[in-house]
Structure 1
Amino acid sequence: MPEPRFLQIHFLAPYTAALLNRDDAGLAKRLPYGGAMRTRVSSQCLKRHWRLADDPHALAALAADAASFRSREIIDRRVLEGWTQGVDEGVVKPIREALLVAVYGDKGADKKSRQTLLLGEAEIAFLTAEARRLVVAAAGDAKAADELAKEWRKSDKANLKALGEGAKLPGGLTAALFGRMVTSDPRANIDAPVHVAHAFTVHAEEAESDYFIAADDLAREEETGADTIQETELTSGLFYGYVVVDIRGLLFNLAGDAELAGAVLHNLLYLIAEVSPGAKLGSTAPYSRASFLLVEAGDRQPRSLAEAFRDPCAAQAGVAIRRLADHLTRLDEAYATGETRRFLSLANTDIPGAERGALADLAHFAGTLPQAFAEPAA
């Protein structure tokens, strides 16, 4: 097998009477494709559920300093909270403003102007240590604190890229996998090695408007008891999803740690197959698992198999898998890119050039791929 630069993951997942991902009007997100409207789950929604999953295969449990936080209030809620109580406000204020500008840019002191930014545990620890050092150096003198804050802002230490210098995961595991864009300091950007497509139904949308009430338990006999009358949308569907991992890019973001990269890919397979991107948990129980999972490892540019579903097909796993297999066969005949494949399927359908296995087999296969990039033993 050629050096496996890319890992491609395709999945089909069924959901019934759910509202997985809503738009600003509270309706299911949609995608027009192939002349038919489809139900959609955004890539942002999928990634958020995978990275925050409270699960035996949680990503956050894989490494020290793996945690990260996305917020406009990291300075107040993570860096300064707690230990600055009792410190003179005149001392804290200029230091706080210097930190806000360093992290969020020139207008960082104004919350409305801040970018919702992702910072890792290592970066937060650095900022906290610097804030404590400046407070101690000011020795209770507000004027001294102001001068110290100005000097700190002029130094290279105020550069976001330098905040976690020397740390394996400066932006946490979330940034190492899904990237980070910092408009106020492009030097702190982190390229995303995990690329996630929007998932969509392989068939035309299946939706209904669900009318429901909230009953008043204390209603009198002459009252209807319908205290609140509302409507929501419920959808059902078989979703196709697609994920690409640039293994070389992942290793770069993990400081070359092939063992950690392997653990990430192993757990990511489990999360994609088992974690539901569902809202309205209490009223729809949107828990499902993938009916089909295909992983491909190779050195050629990745390509989605979404084209297999440009013409809507029946909302049945067996039908969709055969459609996908036929499209993959045609691609192989035309391009012969030679990927190594493993697949999981609840339907009795084979995939060209692919070895069948359980989820554990696919996850193990994915987890071994980064070793091909590991430095040979001396």
Structure 2
Amino acid sequence: MTTPRFLQIHTLHGYTAALLNRDDTGQAKRLRYGGQDRTRISSQCLKRHWRMAVDDPHALQKLADFVASYRSRELVTEKVIRPLEGRFPEEVVEALEPAFQRLVYGKNADKGKRNRQTLLLGQPELDWLAAQAEEIAGRVSSAREAEEAVKEWAKDKNFKIMSENAALPGGLVAALFGRMVTSDPAANIEAPVHVAHAFTVHPSESENDYFTAVDDLRRDEDDSGADTIQETELTSGLYYGYVVIDLPGLIANCGGDRELAARVVHNLVHLIAEVSPGAKLGSTAPYGRAELMLLEAGDRQPRSLASAYCKAVPHDPAIAREALQDRLQHLDEAYATGEARAHMCVGGELAGIEKLPLPRLAVWAAERVKDAPHA
């Protein structure tokens, strides 16, 4: 067996009469593939629901070594400056904020919230900033003194200093999905978890849903119509999803803690299989679990199996499974890269590949992390 550098995760998920991911016009997102329109779920949508599934038994937040992250344009305002209010003179607190905003958000910070990058910072970085602000506020007594003190303080400060001595400076979310900081490229964190946009294996299936709302307190007996008339799009689909985990990269982003990285992969496998994009919950109940999950561990460049559906197949899990197996067989014959494999399937199976229930499949994935090479 090869030393596993990459873990590839292929899935088939089915959803009926839902609107999982909308574009700027309120319609379902789409992708043109194989000459036909497919319904799409963006990678951003998928990642957000996995990381925000805080009540799930396998939530990332429930890991023993979880370190929180916050994504916002107002991290300094809410996490650094707001805690000082009422404890130090107002003029001092106000004088501190501009320098801290520039440190985090760069030169555009002074132009207001709308011009700041929506940035992801970890709890260790925010704690360090808050402690620095409190220390300065505690040793000055006027706005002028505060401005001079913070100006001198900020001369040699950058993200590297903020993150020193922290195993997960940007938090666990940044360790998985990366971070880009335009004001300080050295603060960027490479994402070891790569997520593709999911798309339907068949042509888009959609219809416009015409619906009404009636005023329960209507007094006009002659008005028998609806108080509100609206229309929305509903789609049904069987989606192919694809995720790649760079195992050495994940271990490195976890501060070299291989055990933590293994627990992260274990939980992430569960989240990918079981957590649905949660749009329009009350009106569509868009809950679904993976019909199929195939895991591959190997040392060669990953490759998607999306081409199994370049020619659209019927909306049928069994046919989609057969198409996936057929494509995998052809790739094996051509490349013979020798990945280790295991899978979970709701009815049926992938021939010649070990079939496991999801809990054991997640354990199988975690064990691959323990065998991965160093970055």
- The verdict on a shared fold, with TM-score over 0.5 as the criterion, is yes
For residues 60 and 191 of structure 1, the distance between their equivalents in structure 2, rounded to whole angstroms, comes to 21
Give the aligned partner of residue 289 of structure 2. Answer: 289
Secondary structure at 1:191's aligned position in 2? coil
Give the aligned partner of residue 363 of structure 1. Answer: 362
Question: What do residues 216-270 of structure 1 show as CA deviations (whole Å, max 9, x unaligned)?
Answer: 0012332125111100000000000000000000011011101100000000000
- Aligned partners of 1:65 and 1:120 also within 8 Å: no
Q: 1:20 to 1:85 in 2, by over 3 A?
A: same
Secondary structure at 1:60's aligned position in 2? helix
Measured after TM superposition, the shift of residue 354 of structure 1 is 1.6
For residues 166 and 12 of structure 2, the distance between their equivalents in structure 1, rounded to whole angstroms, comes to 37
Give the aligned partner of residue 35 of structure 1. Answer: 35
Aligned with 2:125 (options 111, 123, 132): 123
Question: What do residues 343-378 of structure 1 show as CA deviations (whole Å, max 9, x unaligned)?
Answer: 111131324x42011001110011112212478xxx
1:190-269 counterparts in 2 under 5 A? 190-220=189-219, 221-269=221-269
Give the aligned partner of residue 66 of structure 1. Answer: 67
TM-score norm. by structure 2 comes to 0.97
Measured after TM superposition, the shift of residue 107 of structure 1 is 1.8
Secondary structure at 2:311's aligned position in 1? coil
For residues 125 and 214 of structure 1, the distance between their equivalents in structure 2, rounded to whole angstroms, comes to 48
- Aligned partners of 1:318 and 1:349 also within 8 Å: no
Query: What amino acid is the match of 2:105?
Result: Y
Equivalent pairs counted in the alignment come to 371
For residues 240 and 186 of structure 1, the distance between their equivalents in structure 2, rounded to whole angstroms, comes to 34
Secondary structure at 2:218's aligned position in 1? coil
Say which is worse superposed, 54-63 or 298-307, in terms of deviation.
Answer: 54-63
1:1-378 counterparts in 2 under 5 A? 1-54=1-54, 55-64=56-65, 66-109=67-110, 110-138=112-140, 140-155=141-156, 158-220=157-219, 221-351=221-351, 353-373=352-372
Measured after TM superposition, the shift of residue 64 of structure 1 is 4.1
Gaps of 5+ in 2: none
Measured after TM superposition, the shift of residue 93 of structure 1 is 2.2
For residues 172 and 87 of structure 2, the distance between their equivalents in structure 1, rounded to whole angstroms, comes to 34
Which of structure 1's runs of 4+ aligned residues deviate more than 3 A?
none
- Aligned partners of 1:98 and 1:150 also within 8 Å: yes
Gaps of 5+ in 1: none
For residues 354 and 327 of structure 1, the distance between their equivalents in structure 2, rounded to whole angstroms, comes to 14
Q: 1:306 to 1:374 in 2, by over 3 A?
A: closer
Secondary structure at 2:224's aligned position in 1? coil
Measured after TM superposition, the shift of residue 166 of structure 1 is 0.9
Query: Sequence identity, in percent?
Result: 57
For residues 167 and 61 of structure 1, the distance between their equivalents in structure 2, rounded to whole angstroms, comes to 20
Measured after TM superposition, the shift of residue 104 of structure 1 is 0.1
For residues 333 and 64 of structure 1, the distance between their equivalents in structure 2, rounded to whole angstroms, comes to 42
Query: What amino acid is the match of 2:228?
Result: T
Secondary structure at 2:303's aligned position in 1? coil
For residues 82 and 93 of structure 1, the distance between their equivalents in structure 2, rounded to whole angstroms, comes to 12
TM-score norm. by structure 1 comes to 0.96
What is the aligned-residue RMSD (CA, Å)? 1.3
